[in-house]
Structure 1
Amino acid sequence: MKKIVLSVMILMAVSACKKESTVVENTETDSTAAVTVPESNEPTEAAVPFKKVEFSPEETTNLLANQKNDTLYVTNFFATWCGPCVKEIPHFKAKMAELKDQPVKFRFVSLDDPKDWAVTVPEFAAKHGLSQDVILLDGKQLTAEFFPANFKEWDGGAIPFTFMRKGDKTDETLGMMSEDMLSQKINSFK
């Protein structure tokens, strides 16, 4: 029954977004648990290699947990084929550049199919300047219990989804965020 519910949720997410596909060659497959924020959103002449970071549902739960520090964590769940996900990325990139010297960390959790992890996701990350900020998560491994254990509102039924946490304070947004909405939500944590 759990697999049927999860399959329905994934199907709903797929139907909520327009699928687009692109293909390129993967440049690096080093796997570590650290995710860093780039110094700038400005394109550089030398492309930053894709940093392959795979998380299990348990590691994702730890990523979303209260880190007991003064940093605001902005975690965006997306897929490369999701039109609204792609449209909001420039807003996140602008905020990353604006807040680069402040205690704010942006993370992008790709829910793409694992078959897309070697080619499609790295190209997407490179194209959008997120090569060091993407975490790969196999959505098929997420159980129905994962969502209520980590979120107040999100049931995994659609993306994009953004989760913000600073200490015990959290904010959840289902759907695409405008630049103004993103700014307001981030400013609410000050």
Structure 2
Amino acid sequence: RAIVEEAARAERVVMAHCHGTPGIKAALDAGVSTIEHGTYLDEETAAQMKEQEAILVPTRFIVERLLAGGRESGMPEYAYRKLVEIGDRHMQAISLAHEVGVTIALGTDIATSGADSAVPWGANGEEVIYLERAGLSPLEIIETATANGPATLGPQAPNSGRLAAGFDADIIAVCANPLDDIALLADPTNIVKVWKGGSLVKGS
């Protein structure tokens, strides 16, 4: 709680990497703004997240990538067994959060992503596929990847993620309608144009 209070003095919010239910509960009681992963989220903690307007950043694509790599990735056997065990539970947690009305945001989990990792930068678009499996609609999924992302930063949030007056013109154009097929956002080649702050940085 002291960390959260001190962060608030600097107009910042605190995020907590939590898998277990007790950790999620303790973090919420301390006033954190977002829960990263939230594998063992249950009805009580989901309701608390909703009440406190805390945001869940599940990073499901990390779990899927690690499961796909399996033992061949060099992961220790004990870690692989644990990953398999939590795989189904994590998907249930995302579905529960959605059912309760918890805000969900798409994130990258920077500690396990990178240019030379099993989860390279840019691959997090895959998250849309797993969020759909968890029960989110295409429009809700687009919101996780746009408006909800900046919201995780509280007072420090950039004016991005919305097509609204006063917001930066950060826009993508895709090859088809993602409301008809949200999975197309998982493939970067389907992103035909990108504007950053109103300037075209991809496409012509």
TM bucket by the smaller chain? Answer: under 0.3
- Structure (1 or 2) with the larger CA radius of gyration: 2
Q: Normalised by the size of structure 1, how large is the TM-score? A: 0.25
Larger helix proportion of the pair:
2
Higher relative contact order (CA 8 A, sep 6+): 1
Q: Normalised by the size of structure 2, how large is the TM-score? A: 0.23
